[in-house]
Chain A
Amino acid sequence: MAELTLVDAVTAALDWELGHDESVVVLGEDVGVNGGVFRATNGLQRKHGADRVIDTPLAEAMIAGMAVGMAAEGLKPVAEIQFMGFIYPAVDQLINHAARLRNRTRGRLSCPMVLRAPFGGGIHAPEHHSESTEAMFAHMPGLRVVIPSSPARAYGLLLAAIRDPDPVVFLEPKRIYRLARQEVANDGAALSLDVCYTLREGTDVTLVSWGAMTQETLEAADRLQAEGVSAEVIDVATISPLDIETILESVARTGRLVIVHEAPRNCGVGAEIAALVAEHGIYDLKSPVQRVAGFDTIMPLYRLEMDYLPGVTRILDAVHVTLEG
C-alpha cells in the first residue's frame, strides 16, 4: 500500500473516481495545467483530459454556479475553491441553489456536487488565507459539511462525498496537507459520511475536534496519558449533520467534554455540540463543557497566527478545569 500525505490522498481519490465514473468532472482555477494551487489535482488533466479536468477563470461564483448546473444535468462535478477566504462569492450559489435544488424540485433533481476548499491557519499565509468559517456552511440546511483529518479519511470521505447525491462542502485542513503520511489502500473504498471517528478510546474525558486541530488534540491526549488521565479523542469528520450520538455515548462514559476548534468561539460548531450535550447529556456531565477555540477577533497575520490557534497547553488547561468537577 502507498503511504500518502493528506493532499496526495485527495489527488488519489479524485484520480480513482475520474477513472471509474465518467460523470465525474473536476473544475476550478489552475486545477488543470498547473495541477492546483496546492497540487491537489496534479497530473489529473494530463491523465483524464481537459474536458474532465477543467481550468476555469478566476470567478468563484461562476465555478460554483457551473457545478450546480452540471450537477442538475447529471454530472458529478468536484469544484475547487483555492482558499476558503475566496469562497464567499460562491456562497450565493451554495445557499440559494445547491442546498435547495432537491427541495425546490420536489425531489425531481438533486445536486450531486462537491465543493472542495482548503481552510484554516498555520501556514504563514497572508490575509484571507487562514480563516476557518465552517460554521457558516454547517448552519445551512441542505449542505453537508465534511472535514477530513488524516490521509485515510481524506481519501475515503472524498469518495463518499463525490458519490453522495446531494451537495457536500469538503473542507481540507491545509496545515496538515503534507504533515504526515499514512497507508492508504487506494482501492476506491469510501468511508461513511455523517459519523464521527473515534481515534482513541479513553475513560476520563472526551476530546472532540476536527480538521488540523486533531493533531494538537491527539498530542494533548498523549500528555494527559503521562499524567494518568485517559482521554477519548473523537474526530467529528462530518460537522453537518452532526453525529451527536457518538459524542453523547462517549460523554456518558467519561462525564467530561472538551471541544477543540480553531474557528472563533462565538457561534462556532463547538457551540452547537455543547448545546446538544446540554440538551441530551446533562445528567452525564461531571463538570461544565469546555470549549478551546480561536479568539473572537480577525485572524491575525502570520507572526501571531500560532498564538491565535489553540495549542496543546490551552487544551490541557481546559481538561484540567473539567477534572476539577
Chain B
Amino acid sequence: MKTFLLPDLGEGLPEAEIVNWHVQPGDLVRADAPLVSVETAKAVVEVPSPYSARVIRLHGDAGDFVKTGGPLVDFELEAENGDGSGAAAVNAGDAGTVVGTMPVGETIIVEHAVAGGSGRRSGRLRATPAVRALAKRLDVDIETVAPSGASGQVTSRDVEAAAQTSTATERIVADDEWEALRGLRRAMAQSMIRANAEVCHATVFDDADIDAWEADQDVTLRLLRAICRGVAAEPALNALFDAASMRRKKLLQLDIGIAVDTPAGLIVPVLRDARVATLATRREELQQLKQAASDRRLGRDDLRGAAITLSNFGMLAGRYARVVVVPPGIAILGAGAIRREAVAAGTELAVRRRLPLSLSFDHRCVTGAEACRFLAAAIADLQLQN
C-alpha cells in the first residue's frame, strides 16, 4: 500500500479544501487522471493521481481541509515489485506548477532543426496573387508566360498579351465540350469583366414620344443626331476617363461608338466627327462601317476613342436595359423596341408611338444632373417631326 500525500500546490500554502472527489474507494485509476478537486488561495485545481493503482481509502470528505504533506489517498499498487515506478511517482507528484494543470508527456522529441533555411534558392515563377488570378481567369498557363517585370515577375500585361496570342490558335471542339473563348467573344468577356469591376454604373430610363415622326425616318440616324444634341447641351458626356490617374480628357470632336451584332460577336466601330448638320449625308458611310465590322476588316484604331456609344438593341427585342459602359468611355445610350403605348395626353388617354431609352453613365466621371441634361436634350430632339 502507498499513501499519497497532498503535494505542495504552490506558494507554500499550508492546506487545501476538498471540493469534490473524482474517485471512490475500490476504483482503479490511471496515473495523471484527476483524483480530487481542491481549492487553494488561487483557484480550484485538480490533483492528478501519481500512480496507476486501486484506490483503497480517501482521507477526508468534501469541505474538509487537508494539510500540505498530509495523507490524501491510500493506493494499492498493482505491482509493488520495485520496477522503478515509485521514483516516477514521486516526480509525477510534483506537477511543477502553482496554478492550473501542467500537461506532462513522455514523448521523446526527435527533430532535425536547421538554423536558418535550407539555403536552396527557387527558380520559381514570380507574380502577384492578382496576376496569378488574372491568368486563371483568362485561361492562361502562367508558367509559360515570359516575365517582363523589373524583379523578374510576370506582369498583368504579360498575361494579357499571352491571352491575346492564344486566341489566334484555332481548335475544333465537339458541341458538348468546354470551349475556350476566343477572338471577339473573349475580348467581350475581358472588357465586360473590367467594366463590371471598375465602372460605377448608374442608368436613367425614359421614353421619347415619336408619334410625330414622318414616315421615312432612319432610327439610327435620329438616335445619332439626338446624341449630338445631347452633347451640345451637356459637353461633360463627351470625355474619356482614366481612373488610374484620376484624369478626364474632354473631347472637342464627337466620336460615337456603335454596337454592332456580328456572327463572331459584339463589335463597336466608331463613327468619327458626328455633327447634326452632316449626319443625314453619312447614311452610306454608316452602312459601310457596319459591314466592315462584320467582315472583321477594322483595325484597332477604328474601335477606339469614343466617349459615348449607341446600342440600338430594340431592333431585336427589349425595352430598357442596364447597358454597360466600357472604359475609357463614360456613357452608353440604349434604344429599346419602338412600341405603341397608352399614355396620358392631358386628361385623356392616348395611344402614341414611344421609343424607350436607357442611358448608362460612369458616375465616377459624370454627375446625375449632367446625364439627365444630356438625356433631356436628346429626347427633345427625338420628339421632333424630322
Give A residues with C-beta under 8 Å from B: 3, 7, 30, 34, 37-39, 82, 122-126, 129, 150-153, 174-183, 191-192, 195-199, 201, 234-235, 243, 245-246, 249-250, 252-253, 255, 282-288, 302, 325
Contacts and interface: CB of A to CB of B under 8 A. Distances in A.
Contact of B114 (A34, A198, A245): A198
A323 B42 CA distance: 46
Nearest to B46: A124
Nearest to A40: B96
Contact of B128 (A3, A152, A153, A282): A282
Contacts of A180: 105-109
B121 A37 contact: no
Given A3-B108, A178-B103, A252 B10 contact: no
B295 interface: no
B15 to A, nearest CB: 17
Contacts of B10: 37
The interface centre, meaning the residue of A7, A176, A282 with most chain B CB atoms within 10 A of its CB, is A282
A175 B116 contact: no
A152 to B, nearest CB: 7
B11 A30 contact: yes
A40 to B, nearest CB: 9
B117 A198 contact: yes
Contact of A181 (B100, B107, B127): B107
11 contacts: A3-B108, A37-B11, A38-B96, A152-B109, A152-B111, A179-B107, A181-B107, A182-B108, A191-B115, A195-B116, A285-B129
A124 B100 contact: yes
Interface residue tally on B, bucketed by range = 35 or more
Interface string B103-135: 111111111111111111110101111001100
Interface of B: 10-12, 42-43, 45, 94, 96-122, 124, 126-129, 132-133, 149, 151-153
A288 B128 CA distance: 9
A3 B106 CA distance: 10
Contacts of B133: 325
Given A126-B42, A197-B114, A287 B129 contact: yes
Overall SS of chain B's interface: loop
Contacts of A181: 105-109
Closest A-B pairs by Cβ, 8 of them: A125-B100, A283-B126, A123-B100, A182-B109, A180-B107, A283-B153, A246-B117, A252-B122
Contacts of A38: 96-97, 102
Given A122-B103, A249-B121, A253-B122, 16 more contacts: A37-B98, A38-B97, A39-B94, A123-B103, A152-B113, A180-B107, A182-B109, A191-B115, A196-B115, A198-B117, A235-B113, A252-B124, A284-B122, A287-B129, A302-B100, A325-B129
A34 B12 contact: yes
A283 B149 contact: yes
A130 to B, nearest CB: 8
A174 B102 contact: yes
Nearest to A183: B108
Nearest to B155: A283
Contacts of A287: 129, 132
Contacts of B129: 282, 285-288, 325
Contacts of A126: 42-43, 99-100
B120 A285 contact: no
B115 A197 contact: yes
A246 B127 CA distance: 20
Given A37-B97, A38-B97, A249-B121, A198 B153 contact: no
Contacts of B103: 122-123, 175-176, 178-179
A150 B116 contact: no
B117 A250 contact: yes
A177 B102 contact: yes
